[in-house]
Structures are given as C-alpha cells and as structure tokens.
Structure 1
Amino acid sequence: MTDLPTLRESLEAHGLLAKKSFGQHFLLDLNITRKIVRLAGPFEGRAVIEVGPGPGGLTRAILESDAGKVVLIEKDHRFLPLLGELDTGDGRLSIVEGDALKVDQSKLVEGPTHIVSNLPYNVGTPLLIDWLTGAWTPVAMTLMFQKEVAERIVAQPGDDAYGRLAVISQAVAEAKIVMHLPAAAFTPPPKVASAVVHVVPRADRPDPQTLKRLERVTAAAFGQRRKMLRSSLKQLGGGALCEAAGIDPDARAETIDIDGFLKLAKALA
C-alpha cells in the first residue's frame, strides 16, 4: 500500500468527486482509517466486508491488517477502476458492483466475517438492521454513522435518543461508540459530526419470530412515544398485553428497558 499514490492524488487522477445523492463523504486521512481498523480487529485471517469503499481509504487500512479475504461492495461504478488499483493479484481482494441492500452477502464469503465500513449516510440504518435481524449475521461490525444515529444505537432508557433503533440493536447485540470524528475529517465535510460504533451480536439473540414481534411492538410504542403504553399499544392488545408481559400499562415507551420490550414481544405471541 505504501507504493500507491495518495488518496487525493488518486481522486484527482480519476477526476472523481463525491456524489451527494449517494451520501458520500470521503475519509482520506490514513492515520484515521488505520485507527478504525485497529478498533475493528484483530481479524486473525477472517473475511472482511466493506460497504461503500469509495476511493478506498479504509480499504487500504484493511488490506494492511491481518484480514483474510476482503470484499468491497460499491454501488458507484466510477470508483471501480480506482479500487481495482488496490488489487495485488493474490486473490485476496474481491470487488462487487451493486447495492449492499440487495446483494446477498452470505454468498460472498465463507466462515465468520467482520464488516468494517464508513457507511453512506442514506443507507446506514437499514443496513445495520438487516445485519442484526437477517438470516446472515456478521461476527462483528465496526461502522461509521452520523453522530446522531450512533447515539440512537447505544441510547439507554430515559435518554432523548432512546427509541426503536436502540431497542432492536441492543436486543440482539452489544454496541458501543469507540471513536468520534469531526465533520472536518471528511471530504467534502458533512453538516454533522460522525462516530464509529462497534457492534457484536449476542450468542443468545432472540429467535426470528420474537424479533418480528419486537419490531411491531417498538413501532407502535415509539410511534406515539408520549402516550401511555395502554394507548400506544392499543392495536396490539393495549393494557391486556402489558399485564401479560408484567409491564406497567401507564408507563411510556422511553422508560421501558430492552428486557421489558422483549417481554412485550413474547407476550404478543
């Protein structure tokens, strides 16, 4: 990687600019990308998937690490030639052109797989939910989000940011913010700061049916978060559902912890 031109030189050589419609903001400081990869590892030869690599700043750091197979999923075809320049021909790097929301990632790798990505802002949340609740689950994820989204993932009951995303994320995984980045770290700078979240799925995650019910319960509860649960959950059973779960029907969604929502989801069965 040390023999390659700088990321800025590569972008200029290919005449590339970030596309606002794709939510692109490039991280060009290799000291930062290397730190993110250190926080994500060690990989010990396991596969790593990166979504939205863009000019490849994070990719270079991943390829310098102890990762095994490295798979890039890039929707913007303009970056494919630039990313191809990172391929040393040893078969370690694989580049897939496509939308990560539609690509079956389970067919791209074998065995335990890490995901390390500076996620495009417009698809970060749905991708996280898909990885957490879908049939295929990574062994760990180290993901960059807008700071506001990162705070929503790790929020606790009573926090202003506590909502559906926190409940679903923490019901199936342990998540913590491991790094903060100012807008000035990116090219072009976004209007908000960013944060890196490290997510590790739980071994005792709820079964798929419970997760589906959890999504229904949290959608109703936080859709009317200022109302008591007996009202916000009325279509799902209201007070009777709460009593079956052992939850105070006069409580509001933002005060119920993860275990409480899981009890509501199981009672919904």
Structure 2
Amino acid sequence: MIVTRFAPSPNGPLHLGHAYAAIVAHDLARKRGGTFRLRIEDIDGPRSRPELVEEFFLDLEWLGLTWDGEPAFQSRRLASYAEAGERLKAMGLLYPCRCTRAEIAAAATDAGPDGPIYPGTCRHRDVEPLEAAWRLDVTAAMERAGPLEWLDESAGPQVATPQIFGDVVLLRKDLPAGYHLAATLDDAADGITLVTRGMDLFRASHVHRLLQALLELPVPTWHHHGLLVESDGRKLAKRRGSPSLGDRRRAGEDGRAIADALRAHRFPAGISLSQVLDGGP
C-alpha cells in the first residue's frame, strides 16, 4: 500500500507552494487507495513557532485535504536521531567539525547543491567534539555501502552520487539533527513508501539513499514534483512574504477552489510551475 506524507516546518506560515506540495502527496495517496500522513518538522530551534501548528491544520482542512492518523512531530523523536548518530559514529563514519561557513567558503574549491563543498578540513584533525557538528565521511560511507540506486517516478532509475554534497552535516551543534538524517529516519518511522517533495530536493535523495543503506532502513520510491516560482524564477518563500494560506483563509477565499486551481495548474499571475533543479552540478 502506498504511503505518502506532507512535512511542513512551523518556522513560518504556509503559502501556495506548500499547498501544491501537500496536494500532490494527498492526491497520489487517495488515487492509489493509500495513506496520507502529516508530519510536523519542529526541531528548527528558536525558528520553530508552535502556534503555527494549529494554523497548518486549519489551512489543510480549508484546502479540503484530510490526513490519516495522528500527526507526527519530530520533537518527539529526538532519541531516534541520537541513536542513529551513535551507530554511525561506531562505524567510524562520522567526525566532528568546528569549521565556520566563512572558513568553508574560503577553503572550498568546488560547489555542490548546497553551496561550497566542504573540503574535509577536520576529517583527520583532532577536534574536541563538544560544541562541534558531526559530518558524514561520504567516501568511507560509500565504500562501506557499495553501489546504490534509487527510483524517481518521473526521472526513472538513479545511481546514488552523494559525493556531490561532500561530507554533509548529520548532527548539528545547535539542533538535534540535520535535515538529511532526520528526514530519512522519519520517513522510515512513518512507513513512507513514496516520498513526494519538490525538485529542489531531488539531489538530497542521493544522500538519503546512502543513509538508508548504512542504517538498514526501507527504501521508498521518490516523486519529485515541480516548484511554484515567481516571475524571476525564484521559488515561493515565506521569508520573501509570499501570501500565506492563513491570510487567504481569513479573508474568506474558497480554499477548495484554490486547491482545484492548483491541481489544474491554473496559477495566479506571476507564478508558474518549474521543473528545473536548483543549483548544483
């Protein structure tokens, strides 16, 4: 049975881009007789705003979307992130790093999907682990895991190449876990069989496939959908003040009509759907 999910972070209100992502996940599950789950990714430190969670529920109901079961919360899964981190440390695949972004930018010679690729400065240094981030030694991890593949419903079979990110941070010094580790563990815990998300996260799936192999997790299929973008090509973003669903709801707009328009790819003026990957090689 297919199981999908929508996993927003309560660090700002939802907008039309979130609505489109939720609709894709919801409709795929419903059309295939599956399950649609809701997960709240609320471990982003002081940026997480608990009061927004109820707003998310109201927004999704306003759009006519229903989820199955109780919503999951990342903040209730901190022990699982720590346990996975210890397993990877025991394998000798994590190392502490105290480099700043400025130091990484100055030393990097290549760029990847997330910006300058970390040059491995701390990989063989004696770094005090307190107040340090923990990076995955991707080369060693791939040697251990061997060749890996993953499947995207639109793009087809993919060969995992997590090296394009360099040694990614899995355990942050300021948060319980980085995105790559938390999302991978959560999708396994929630029984997700079809990971739906925007094209901007297509390349992240290379890292997630590696983590699944290392931690012996189930391997889902992926479905990367297009992103709603503004006229300048930038994706809709909370930080740039894209109109929120909550504001539209309180103004009396018809949420179900908005959802149907998004399904039919009828977007407001100045907004279009892009299938282009963001950044990276």
TM superposition score normalised by structure 1 = 0.27
More helix as a share of residues: 1
TM-score by length of 2: 0.26
